[in-house]
C-alpha cells in the first residue's frame, strides 16, 4: 500500500510539473482508482442490464463484488479503456451498500448526466 501511495504521489507530481491538471477520484489510494488512465467530470449513471458484475478492477479478470441490476445508480469518476470506476449512490437491488466503489463496463450504463 505504501508503494502504491508513493507511485500515485510521483505520478501526480510529474503531471503537475508537466503542466497537466490532474484530478484524482475520491479515495484513489484505497480503492484502485490509481489504475485509471483518464478522468471524467463526476457524472451520475444508471445500470442498463441485470446481473452485471461490479468488479474490483477494470477487466473481467478481477473478482466481482456482487451484481448490479437495471437502474441501480452510480457516480462515475474515471476510466480505463471501456471500464469506469464508480461508486454506488444508493443501495443496489442485490444488496450492495451505498458508497461501495467498483468497476463496470461503460456499455452497461444507460445514461451519463452531469
With CA atoms as reference, report the closest residue to 113 among 62, 49, 55, 43.
43
What sign does the dihedral 72-113-42-85 (CA atoms) show? positive
15 or 84, which is more confident: 84
Give residue-wise pLDDT tens across range 57-90. Answer: 999 999 999 999 999 999 999 999 999 999 999 9
Q: How far apart are the first and last CA of the chain?
A: 32
User: How far from chain centre, in Å, is Cα 90?
Assistant: 15
Q: What are phi and psi of 54, to 5 degrees?
A: -105, 105
Domain ranges for the chain: 2-113
DSSP-derived letter for residue 71 is: T
Q: Summarize pLDDT for 19-28 with one digit per residue, the tens.
A: 333 333 334 3
Contact partners, residue 14, CB within 8 Å, separation at least 6: none
Q: What is the DSSP letter of 35?
A: G
Could you identify the residue written with the cell 502504491? Answer: 4
> How much of the chain, in percent, has pLDDT values that exceed 90?
61
What pTM, to 2 d.p., does this model score? 0.70
CATH number of 2-113: 2.30.30.40
Amino acid at each position: 500500500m505504501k508503494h502504491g501511495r508513493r507511485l500515485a504521489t510521483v505520478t501526480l507530481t510529474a503531471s503537475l510539473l508537466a503542466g497537466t491538471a490532474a484530478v484524482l477520484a475520491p479515495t484513489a489510494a484505497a480503492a484502485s482508482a490509481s489504475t485509471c488512465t483518464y478522468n471524467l467530470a463526476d457524472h451520475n449513471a444508471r445500470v442498463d442490464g441485470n446481473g452485471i458484475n461490479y468488479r474490483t478492477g477494470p477487466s473481467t479478470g478481477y473478482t466481482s463484488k456482487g451484481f448490479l441490476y437495471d437502474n441501480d445508480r452510480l457516480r462515475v469518476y474515471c476510466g480505463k479503456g471501456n471500464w469506469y470506476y464508480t461508486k454506488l449512490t444508493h443501495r443496489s437491488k442485490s444488496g450492495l451498500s451505498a458508497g461501495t466503489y467498483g468497476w463496470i463496463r461503460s456499455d452497461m450504463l444507460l445514461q451519463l448526466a452531469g
